Structure 1
Amino acid sequence: MPATSPTWDPAQYLRHAGHRARPFADLLARVPDLPGDRPRIADLGCGPGNVTVHLAERWPAAHITGYDNSPEMLDKADVDHAGPTPAGGRLDFAHADVRTWTPPETYDLIISNATLQWVPGHVGRFGDWVAALAPGGTFAFQVPGNFDAPSHRLLRDLAGSARWRDRLAGTLRHDDAVLAPVAYLEHLADLGCAADVWETTYVHLLTGADPVLDWVKGTGLRPVLTALADDPGAREEFLDGYRAALREAYPAGAHGTPFPFRRIFAVARKEA
């Protein structure tokens, strides 16, 4: 994360909720059965809670806590999703910074969806998290693997240009924000886990005017929007330049705008 965490907009993020939720569903499908009859689950970087609820659908008796450091996201999650579940479980949400979060108890599952890319050196946290798993418990995560894609490369290039470099220095993540799949596999195996690591490139078909810009306004562009929030003129100038570059990189087709998006997945099971 940058020195000043970005301000999040749940409504903007949820504009592409269907596409964004699909990788979580694919991750969840590979998570094995959990050791506890009433599992304890932590969702790190839960955002507005729209995918956290899928954990309650799979484990309806579980006590699930979604953690996030955005008050805006937590407010949305709490209003829309918090409360008891029909099978006697509970879904709640709490403030936490994943950079420093230390498990306060034993968990059957610690899961994170599209969050760890914001945490520099996140593999250094894996040891504490795996140690907090019950025997036979699982640590699972998904991160974007598209930092060399035009959407991210053009954003970094523009922010680093002569016009913007002084204003936006240190704002954006770089192309080393996540590791290669093999590196994740090695780190998790070193912790004694049976690890399953893979990657998938989705081709999202987006619709509407400037849909790739609309997508990144909910995620990767947030640090820039936050940094320029006090200068609407500069904010619009930056968006105009970025919009033009994205239109060239992602031309609209007959059925919409194809948006390839690579993601990296890992499911690590602790020895029973």
Structure 2
Amino acid sequence: MKLRKVTAASAVVLALAVTATACGSSDDKDSGSSGGGKKIAIGIKFDQPGIGQKTPQGYTGFDVDVAKYVAKKLGYDEDQIQWKEAKSADRETMLQRGDVQFIAASYSITPEREEKVDFAGPYLLAHQDVLVRADDDSIKSPADLNSKKLCSVTGSTSAQNVRDKLAPKANLLKYPTYSACLTGLQNKAVDALTTDDSILAGYASQDQFKGKFKLGGLKMTNENYGIGVKKGSDLKDKINKALEEMVADGSWEKAVQANFGPANYQYEPAPKIGDVKS
């Protein structure tokens, strides 16, 4: 009898241990949509200084600051965030698969993307622009790019768009990275680099480039940065509320100045939620 009692007790303890382990495993994997879980997975860029960059010290950039603020409003502390790299070509798939709860990664709102995912925001209105040397005053309009050496990153359509629509005689040079373009710009191998002004400002704000470049202020396109969520997710409204609060309490302005200030970025005021500029 005594042996049977011990065996029964052991079975109960074992059952409780298995249950506790199962519960712990569930909690560890829970990335609930309203802050109820232990972790939240957020997609950002890992290679865009000033926007989203992975460094030995952690993650930095305007999108990172926005994502942290939103996560906090959703009930997550910074140490509960799982950062995941959201490359441009992978963003919709990451959201559709549930790899991340939301993406803040210089993610322009477009009709084509809205067919696949939902967007909160916009939270920043950027424009396609050019970056030139600080002492170069020869480029004051898109037409001035004709016959200029315009740097394009391999795989990007920004420079091609300029030549197709605004400066047909621009001389396109393709470099592997934006950093290579900046080195070429510094060495006068190229005359200008083009992409979103926010991205250009982020690169120009790096310590090694401070004071060497300036934005042209051409505003060739409107790029409405939004936070992507899975189609039909209830996170959209919650994130919109968080973005409104970020603007209202001054955190948005602080984040812009901290990440883009050194490049003298003439940024637009915080856009109103739902106001997507065409």
- TM-score w.r.t. the length of structure 1 is 0.33
